[in-house]
Structure 1
């Protein structure tokens, strides 16, 4: 028996020796300019899935194909990219040590890297200078930059919509931990800061669709953030009229222990005083965050991360004057308020992970995390209003004043809403480098506990008649009263393979599958996904073609389950979508400077949708899976140095997103008041149907003095659909005015520590910048939503616009040390 197997054994041995002879080994050490080991430096083959990371001593080892030239790329955040073209002989073992040079410490603005990705819809950002963009969103620099790529219609919120999705369809990860945000926030004024602290970030990967299986179960986008691994002590202090922050980082002498600490305080009282509603604003948003990483050796590593956010919003409105209409027919709404609003949002997050490297190919990671939010929304505000028509005749003495009173009344809003959410997660992540294959897998067990108490109403009185008018009963315009206490488990996992057919192949691919099971509704979901990339190496021009697609199914959390009356539907199923994304990159040089053009077209088919309406930034769901929909469009993004050494970008998008509520209908009455015709509305625009957007970031400087720079943010977006607040989606076919906004900032270098090597004080300061920012430079009055005023005597209804921020000046000081 053994004799029969000997030829087979010999054949296998010879085959393994032949395969080994086709490869070679490249190894070495990566250090900085001072000879200190850098970890973790990414060492990868350009245009390939092949790569590795340096260990705590800066050493790396990479298996390469022999006999063919390959380009090995060494990259580390904050340091210049290094590339080496290598051709190795079969079985050769070559050593190559690399010294990375730190980037200039002067302000260079936000740049977009030209690194390749195997994934269509992917944007890789270098966000180390994100805080320098002129934006009213203090503490949300990364999100403000993202908005220039995907569009926006509200500068007061850090949330964003992507390709027809809403705020709840976006995933956020920090160091593999999934991040949550408060649930009850209904306006940008109440919002605190983004969880992501830009001063602690080393890398940002943002996907706008067609993302890989390793990412979770949402339908629109993924923001994947990696925090720093510092090598020495440093930090940043920032102060402005909108808030202040402090970030510290450091490492032990042996580089085994690293730490990050960030504290931020935001008070947008200065910003809110420019709002049309005058009153006493007391917003206070505080955020503390810390991360500790310890490497026991090259095999074991532990990371802990924690965050506490304390958000308070107290508001005593006094009066509001809003003028609207056209030149020859203008109106004015004047409101006198009485009452207060007090909101409290406290959230906590903690995570612990341990990583084990049994060898250079295998990585195993265990993660445990917990999120808790305790939210209280309380207000009791009444407003007496006067709606009148303005005199528009320039020749009249009372020009611009109310000439005719159209209606008076009272709007009384009341709420006592309380919500507690606890989320616990235990997860495993693993990866194995099998030369031409990079296999990744993961398992998650998630427990969610929700305690919700809702009591909210609105009463309207116009000319002595409560609306809606009923001679026999006192009716409320809105009335919600419900409570819910429940918990459930959710299990999920994924398996994916990033591969190429040979080391010299022009084709790379990622194929994977996810599963998800919820004990709440008993639904089991399977989501296959795939991404493909093709780079013709023989072409003279640098092109990359990409294709991605798959199923993206979003299990309900809390918002989707609560319907318009406040009741919880625990049987709600996951919303489901199919993505297909086709795109390409073209890298080229113009006027001796690097440029990159990215183009993409996409289609999203959706079913089991839960219809919803927007109430400022709050999303009010219908609480049932009774809609189907679609979204399709195209995007073009151009990156490059329009001005030498000053990176800028332009993003342009076209989109159409529609939905059909399957059980929606219109009963048309006859003259006698009986039902005459039943009409089915069919497809109508989704609430995020933004047909056109243009975003731009432009940077410039004085030709002979680069230490004085200008940063310009420009946003244009077509108006979103809206309609009267009657809970009937088929009526939401009107359009808000187009959103137009320009923010500009001027930055001057005050101190450059490198120029003062003999001063103990000034040499400790890497650089210090003073910025003057002008928000809403053109003073455009953008409209976020409308307040609907009805006069009971005439039966007419007027839509009064709710405006966003006006022109405002901000001063900001940044000190890096």
Structure 2
């Protein structure tokens, strides 16, 4: 009996132990207020936790028969905390909706898309970025199809916005400001953009009227966020232009995640499509990583690193460019000797720590270092012949120069070296309660630039050296000999060692309200910056600027879905090193910050067409600019007067209609009108170098209805010519010449062999791939002859100067292969 009692007690204890050790399952899908999945949300109970996957799905095992507190957290959303008690083996489904917090929004309790509409931000889909064909594919390639954004060089990642130049655009990646190289002169030297599109999660763009939390530039903001991986995956892309590999992973406890990208590009195929025969050996490569570590639900650390190696070897051989009319065709035939060797090596590292003090306060500390070493060495002798082309179809010499009007030579030489090192340390914070929000930040930047410039140009025509463009000098050769020593037509020699220290910050307040059923939002803020320029052989100079900015948006309670907004303020751009250096290479430390008064009126009208969603966005803008630093543009090289000698204005209208022209895809048509003029030294208003009057951009995506895996991507751009076709030393008031209109269309066709969303349709031998697609692209489908600059040939005997266009890339074919596993 005693043994039976003991046995029964043991069985009871065992059953109780088994019952207590049993678990329950909590699962579901985490969504945001736009009903989109939240990736990487942490679902935790004490030390037990998991994360939502790329579809927002999660599953967590917890002890049963006990009440536990569950926390759902994400660095970009408000935390959710609740208590739950489940029975053994119970499966409970919970699908929470997280409200976006201040990490990703500016107005409180707004969805992501609602916030972007209020701020006037354009959002680009990362998958569209990765699929859109372009000679220089990536974020910037798609950005150039937006209204107000223009570029006349498909080999360049640079762009101008609403009359600004390339140096007036802010670019952020994960809150880190990104810089562009200093010495690059042509688009074919650029290689790779900093932004690796394989790593991108979100892309937002503002063409003007942006908030105080963004930096001190005059034109635009490109704000990019990289992925936070939740699974292990590798993607590979191969094409005739290069290759890229991106791999991502996450640890078992979901605390550490990372993504690594490698890219290699070779532009020789594009350059070979130009009219200059060359030995061209470009090598552009970079490696980039983004790591995230979440130590607790309150603290997160991330690291962004980049190393870029760009070697540009260029040996031109011959060139023949035909120009003129059909009946009077002329040609420039050039024979080259010499070569160009350029190297651009840049590296950057940034660490960001985010601390969530409580549900209302987030604090960030960001430190970053940027270093660039740039070299431009070239010695090129060009011997040219200018003459009339044989147009006789039956002649054996068809297309050859049969009558020479002038011969000559040009020698260009450069030994340019630049070493720049930037340090940044920044604090950002925000506080929000109910419908109110405060954001603030302070930043210290130290910039050291060591620059050596040694370049010259000698021009000879029919044995007579062409004199430099000296005032009150008339070149009457060969009739009147000029006996002075031989001088270069253009010569720059300088050596600079400059330090720039900056202290900047911002404070802004946002609120949301409802007025008689109408939704109302407002934002008001201000930036400040104090900078000091010092260095060898220059006077130390400093300046303090204050930049107030504001935004107001109203969504009336109408049957039509309309949103109205007005934004603007006083914007400053303190000079970077490039803006301090004049045409002779001398640094002027007394250059002041350029100033611009912005006002932007916007309207978004959302509607249904063919029972599919569409939106028409319209913005009117005006910018009054003062203390302007006049500049010239040659290809992508900008050179400043460095004396704040001008005032200017820019005005225009931007429209974009986007929606599902084809069900399930997004396409758009954009139209822009711009007029921008400047007044240098009170001599009157003339067109600025970026006076891009009319621009039309089209992005169209389609697929074959019976074969949905066969897809087509088409982008087209038409832009009127800009006034950049003048000689580099010409007085713009005496010589205003526009380039021809820029017209280009790029087409891409791809077939999805393996689709992760359709695993049942994948053959067994391809199961190792999550995605697999093949395709081809045609750049410059209609083979338009677009020119970026003019080469000016001088003939001393006839006293004439000829403008010969420098054409960009012709029609080119590319083949692509993309896979994920």
Normalising by structure 2, we get a TM-score of: 0.84
Q: Which residue of 1 aligns with 2:807?
A: 803
Contact kept, 8 Å, 1:79 with 1:100, in 2: the verdict is no
Q: Which residue of 2 aligns with 1:214?
A: 213
Do residues 729 (structure 1) and 724 (structure 2) align?
A: no
Query: What CA deviation, in whole Å up to 9, does each residue of 1:201-243 have, x standing for no partner?
Result: 1101100000000000000000000111111111210000001
Contact kept, 8 Å, 1:416 with 1:456, in 2: the verdict is yes
Cα 1:276/1:528, change in 2 over 3 Å: same
Give the secondary-structure state (helix, strand or coil) at the position aligned to 2:161.
Answer: coil
Alignment of 1:611-630 (within 5 A): 611-630=630-649
Give the secondary-structure state (helix, strand or coil) at the position aligned to 2:660.
Answer: strand
Q: Which residue of 2 aligns with 1:427?
A: 426
Q: Which residue of 2 aligns with 1:751?
A: 754
Q: How many residues align?
A: 721
Contact kept, 8 Å, 2:386 with 2:406, in 1: the verdict is yes
CA distance in 2, matches of 1:798, 1:471: 26
Cα 1:759/1:392, change in 2 over 3 Å: closer
CA distance in 1, matches of 2:151, 2:242: 23
Query: What CA deviation, in whole Å up to 9, does each residue of 1:566-592 have, x standing for no partner?
Result: 111111111110110001101111111
Q: Which residue of 1 aligns with 2:798?
A: 794
Contact kept, 8 Å, 2:39 with 2:55, in 1: the verdict is no
Cα 1:329/1:251, change in 2 over 3 Å: same
Q: Which residue of 1 aligns with 2:267?
A: 268
Query: What CA deviation, in whole Å up to 9, does each residue of 1:433-492 have, x standing for no partner?
Result: 121111110000000001000000000110111111642121211100000112121000
Give the secondary-structure state (helix, strand or coil) at the position aligned to 2:767.
Answer: helix
Q: Which residue of 1 aligns with 2:381?
A: 382
Contact kept, 8 Å, 1:436 with 1:502, in 2: the verdict is no
Cα 1:53/1:436, change in 2 over 3 Å: farther
Do residues 501 (structure 1) and 487 (structure 2) align?
A: no
Q: Which residue of 1 aligns with 2:542?
A: 522
Match of 2:489 among 474, 477, 480: 477
Give the secondary-structure state (helix, strand or coil) at the position aligned to 1:779.
Answer: coil
Cα 1:406/1:508, change in 2 over 3 Å: same
CA distance in 1, matches of 2:28, 2:249: 14
Cα 1:562/1:502, change in 2 over 3 Å: same
Contact kept, 8 Å, 2:40 with 2:229, in 1: the verdict is no
Greater Rg over alpha carbons, structure: 2
Q: CA deviation at 1:400?
A: 3.7
Q: CA deviation at 1:799?
A: 0.2
Query: What CA deviation, in whole Å up to 9, does each residue of 1:761-804 have, x standing for no partner?
Result: 63342211111101110011101110000100010000010000
CA distance in 1, matches of 2:82, 2:561: 31
CA distance in 1, matches of 2:167, 2:120: 19
Contact kept, 8 Å, 2:711 with 2:751, in 1: the verdict is yes
Q: Which residue of 2 aligns with 1:513?
A: 526
Match of 2:701 among 699, 702, 707: 699
Comparing 211-220 with 698-707, greater Cα deviation is found at 698-707
Match of 1:570 among 589, 593, 615: 589
Comparing 125-134 with 527-536, greater Cα deviation is found at 125-134
Cα 1:54/1:379, change in 2 over 3 Å: closer
Q: CA deviation at 1:77?
A: 7.8
Alignment of 1:55-66 (within 5 A): 56-57=42-43
Contact kept, 8 Å, 1:583 with 1:598, in 2: the verdict is yes
Q: Which residue of 2 aligns with 1:172?
A: 171
Give the secondary-structure state (helix, strand or coil) at the position aligned to 2:198.
Answer: helix
Contact kept, 8 Å, 2:203 with 2:225, in 1: the verdict is yes
Q: Which residue of 2 aligns with 1:372?
A: 371
Cα 1:269/1:45, change in 2 over 3 Å: closer
Do residues 159 (structure 1) and 179 (structure 2) align?
A: no
Give the secondary-structure state (helix, strand or coil) at the position aligned to 1:729.
Answer: coil
Alignment of 1:441-480 (within 5 A): 441-468=440-467, 470-480=482-492
Contact kept, 8 Å, 1:42 with 1:54, in 2: the verdict is no
CA distance in 2, matches of 1:398, 1:315: 30
Match of 1:147 among 144, 152, 155: 144
CA distance in 1, matches of 2:761, 2:794: 70
Q: CA deviation at 1:369?
A: 0.3
CA distance in 1, matches of 2:221, 2:244: 26
Alignment of 1:110-121 (within 5 A): 115-117=114-116, 119-121=118-120
Q: CA deviation at 1:125?
A: 1.8
Contact kept, 8 Å, 1:42 with 1:76, in 2: the verdict is no
Give the secondary-structure state (helix, strand or coil) at the position aligned to 2:815.
Answer: strand
Q: Which residue of 1 aligns with 2:690?
A: 688
Query: What CA deviation, in whole Å up to 9, does each residue of 1:42-85 have, x standing for no partner?
Result: 55899xxxxx99962289xxxxxxxxxxxxxxx998779xxxxx
Aligned CA RMSD, in angstroms, stands at 2.6
Contact kept, 8 Å, 1:43 with 1:54, in 2: the verdict is no
CA distance in 2, matches of 1:290, 1:700: 33
Cα 1:600/1:519, change in 2 over 3 Å: same
Cα 1:136/1:626, change in 2 over 3 Å: same
Alignment of 1:588-603 (within 5 A): 588-603=607-622
Normalising by structure 1, we get a TM-score of: 0.85
Alignment of 1:742-781 (within 5 A): 742-753=745-756, 754-755=758-759, 762-781=766-785
Cα 1:410/1:296, change in 2 over 3 Å: same
Contact kept, 8 Å, 1:119 with 1:211, in 2: the verdict is no
Query: What CA deviation, in whole Å up to 9, does each residue of 1:380-410 have, x standing for no partner?
Result: 0001100002244668775543232111011
Cα 1:379/1:220, change in 2 over 3 Å: same
Alignment of 1:166-245 (within 5 A): 166-245=165-244
Q: Which residue of 1 aligns with 2:402?
A: 403
Do residues 341 (structure 1) and 340 (structure 2) align?
A: yes
Please list every run of 5 or more consecutive structure 1 residues that lacks an aligned counterpart in the other structure.
Answer: 1-32, 47-51, 60-74, 81-91, 102-112, 664-679
Match of 1:535 among 520, 541, 555: 555
CA distance in 2, matches of 1:604, 1:126: 29
Query: What CA deviation, in whole Å up to 9, does each residue of 1:606-643 have, x standing for no partner?
Result: 00111111111110111110000000000110111111
Query: What CA deviation, in whole Å up to 9, does each residue of 1:3-57 have, x standing for no partner?
Result: xxxxxxxxxxxxxxxxxxxxxxxxxxxxxx994786xx755899xxxxx999622
Cα 1:263/1:34, change in 2 over 3 Å: farther
Q: Which residue of 2 aligns with 1:69?
A: none
Q: CA deviation at 1:192?
A: 1.8
Contact kept, 8 Å, 2:793 with 2:802, in 1: the verdict is yes
CA distance in 2, matches of 1:568, 1:528: 30
CA distance in 2, matches of 1:125, 1:324: 40
Q: CA deviation at 1:759?
A: 8.0
Please list every run of 5 or more consecutive structure 2 residues that lacks an aligned counterpart in the other structure.
Answer: 1-24, 46-51, 58-80, 85-92, 99-111, 468-474, 476-481, 534-540
CA distance in 1, matches of 2:777, 2:40: 41
Contact kept, 8 Å, 1:55 with 1:298, in 2: the verdict is no
Contact kept, 8 Å, 1:118 with 1:508, in 2: the verdict is no
Give the secondary-structure state (helix, strand or coil) at the position aligned to 1:646.
Answer: coil
Contact kept, 8 Å, 2:677 with 2:686, in 1: the verdict is yes
Give the secondary-structure state (helix, strand or coil) at the position aligned to 1:128.
Answer: helix
Q: Which residue of 2 aligns with 1:5?
A: none
Query: What CA deviation, in whole Å up to 9, does each residue of 1:262-289 have, x standing for no partner?
Result: 0000111111111111110000001100
Cα 1:511/1:596, change in 2 over 3 Å: same
Give the secondary-structure state (helix, strand or coil) at the position aligned to 1:794.
Answer: coil
Give the secondary-structure state (helix, strand or coil) at the position aligned to 2:511.
Answer: strand
Cα 1:557/1:153, change in 2 over 3 Å: same
Cα 1:714/1:146, change in 2 over 3 Å: same
Cα 1:44/1:648, change in 2 over 3 Å: closer
Query: What CA deviation, in whole Å up to 9, does each residue of 1:511-570 have, x standing for no partner?
Result: 10000110223110000000111111x211111101100111001111111111111111
